[in-house]
Structure 1
Amino acid sequence: MPTFDQQNFFPVEKELGMSFKPQKELISFDDYRFNQITNLENLSDDEYDEIAESYIELTTYSSGSKLSGYPVFTQDDPRYKEQYQSYDILLFQIDSYDTPGIMWGDAGVANYFITSGDLKSRNLLNVLHDWDCH
């Protein structure tokens, strides 16, 4: 395994196992579909900010590592760009953790997306990978 210095940086320090439990979640505020689904764009800036702040606080449990669900971003959802909007399914998300040693840049998160058609046909050759950090 390479050492962690400026020339050889890899975000995962060692091989790790993962375990999951089923949970329900709301669409994340960062998801490019949030405004389409909630229809909040007609509010005043102050009203929008107040609702956004409350909603973000309510959905903080969406962070972490997970299979499927709604992604969380430290910057922006890359699917705001039309060329990536077909990647509508989150395959999995890997968050940063000091322990056991996963760090995407400066406490970021990595997301892997797939199109619903590719998922249905079990084609894992066309996956969109995105990671961002603070």
Structure 2
Amino acid sequence: MTLSLPKALEPYRKDIENTVVPFVSIQATRQSTEVKDSKIGGSPYLPEGFSYPLDSSGKPMALLCQLNFEEIPPLEHFPKQGILQFFLSKHDDVMGMDFDNPTNQSNFRVVYHEDLALSHTSASYVSKETEEEHLPFNGEYRLSFSLSKEALGVSDFHFEESYESIDMDQATGETNMWGEETLYDLFCEHVENMGHKIGGYAYFSQTDPRDYGAQFDDYRITLLQIDTDDEGENDIMWGDAGVGNFFITKEDLRNKDFSRVLFNWDCH
């Protein structure tokens, strides 16, 4: 992979390329899906006897995303088979996030089904209640995947550490809508981590939550990122054009333990 960089960032190409990692880019297409398909929304795959996830009020959660690893290009440490599901409470006005404890799965849930040979069913928990539902998407989306690579952008909590040899306040000699352009401005524009993805680096509208305390320092792996997406018929949005992220430690991912996943979303 050869990064496309503006002239002012060329002297720092080696520093930038040293951060490059693989990730799986996700494309969402609004359409109906089959039970085992990778998807956003729709009906989840459910092994017989599986207890459907309930939120803190005892109400069924909605399927946010389902990943079938047989459809996904392989990434180091990630499962090669099975289905991983992400559920959110439909009745929580902050869409499952716990500001004080972002690993608390009371109103979101991450579930892994390793053996897909078991008898299964599907269920769609469509609310019959009149109360407002809070979800970051409308409709149902089939997911497709492609392997790619990216460099670390300005949102990541290791940005300053990774590029400590670069003076981000250095002027480029150009101007932009905010005034004198700096190297930091160019990083924001040309080294970004937006979009739906598995692995790679995360993007945030506000602040990386892993910077809030040392207890989150090991959450280096982006388990899933779902971005705002209004391309064509797509209607996926977190608040005011925000982004949702799920993080996991390397040890937990290797052990296929999804009980301590960190969930965060923010918006402009």
With the shorter chain as reference, the TM-score category is 0.7 to 0.9
Q: Does 1:54 align with 2:175?
A: no
Residues 70 and 6 (structure 1), Cα distance of their counterparts in 2 relative to 1, 3 Å cut: farther
* 1:1-134 equivalences in 2 (<5 Å): 1=126, 7-40=132-165, 43=167, 46-47=169-170, 50-60=182-192, 62-82=193-213, 83-98=215-230, 99-134=233-268
The structural deviation recorded for 1:2 is 5.5
Question: Is the Cα–Cα contact under 8 Å of residues 169 and 184 in structure 2 kept in the other structure?
Answer: no
Q: Structure 2: state its 5+ residue gaps.
A: 1-125, 172-180
With normalisation by structure 2, the TM-score equals 0.45
Tell me the secondary structure at the aligned position of residue 19 of structure 1.
strand
Give CA deviations for 1:79-118 in whole Å, capped at 9, x if unaligned: 1112322211101100011231111000000000000110
With normalisation by structure 1, the TM-score equals 0.86
In terms of fraction of residues, the more helix-rich structure is: 1
Residues 103 and 84 (structure 1), Cα distance of their counterparts in 2 relative to 1, 3 Å cut: same
The CA distance in 1 between the partners of 2:240 and 2:256, in whole Å, is 33
In terms of fraction of residues, the more strand-rich structure is: 2
The CA distance in 2 between the partners of 1:6 and 1:56, in whole Å, is 40
The CA distance in 1 between the partners of 2:219 and 2:169, in whole Å, is 32
Return 5-14 or 91-100, whichever deviates more.
5-14
Tell me the secondary structure at the aligned position of residue 57 of structure 1.
helix
The CA distance in 2 between the partners of 1:18 and 1:79, in whole Å, is 27
The CA distance in 2 between the partners of 1:46 and 1:15, in whole Å, is 44
Residues 76 and 14 (structure 1), Cα distance of their counterparts in 2 relative to 1, 3 Å cut: same
Return 46-55 or 19-28, whichever deviates more.
46-55
Greater gyration radius:
2
Aligned positions, number: 130
Give CA deviations for 1:53-72 in whole Å, capped at 9, x if unaligned: 11111123x21101110000
Could you tell me the percent identity over the aligned residues? 36
RMSD: 2.3
Report the counterpart of residue 15 of structure 2 in structure 1.
none
